[in-house]
């Protein structure tokens, strides 16, 4: 059995988080926050934009803004040399 998340990461997908602000249908002057997270492929983010398209078609709440954060979890290791060396007593 293989993990879908691992296979997606090996195919270039990374963890994408979208902070979606929308107007409440019952109180249009109030904003609500919805956090969405899935594995997606930057820079086009097809999974996220499919979800947002579904939102526009089937959910009454109008979108205000969407903020996207993305991290490719699988990649080359990074290391840095420390600038400060401390003596341990």
Q: Is 87 a domain residue?
A: no
Per-residue model confidence as pLDDT tens for the chain (89 residues): 458 878 888 888 889 999 999 999 999 999 999 999 999 998 899 999 999 999 999 999 999 999 999 987 766 666 666 666 555 55
Q: Is 77 a domain residue?
A: no
Q: What is the DSSP string of 16-83?
A: EEEEEEEE-SSSTT-EEEEEEEEEE-TTT-HHHHHHHHHHHHH--SPEEEEEEEEE--SS-------S
Give residue 77's pLDDT.
Answer: 63
pTM above 0.85, yes or no: no
Give residue 61's pLDDT.
Answer: 94
| Residue 8 lies in domain | 4-71
Domain count, the chain: 1
């Amino acid at each position: 059995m293989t993990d879908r998340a691992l296979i997606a990461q090996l195919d270039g997908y990374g963890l994408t988080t979208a902070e979606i602000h929308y107007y409440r249908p019952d109180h249009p002057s109030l904003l609500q926050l919805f956090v969405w997270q899935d594995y997606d492929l930057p820079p086009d983010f097809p999974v996220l934009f499919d979800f947002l398209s579904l939102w526009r078609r089937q959910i009454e709440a109008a979108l205000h803004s969407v903020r996207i954060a993305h991290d490719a979890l699988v990649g080359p290791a990074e290391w840095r040399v420390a600038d400060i060396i401390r003596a341990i007593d």
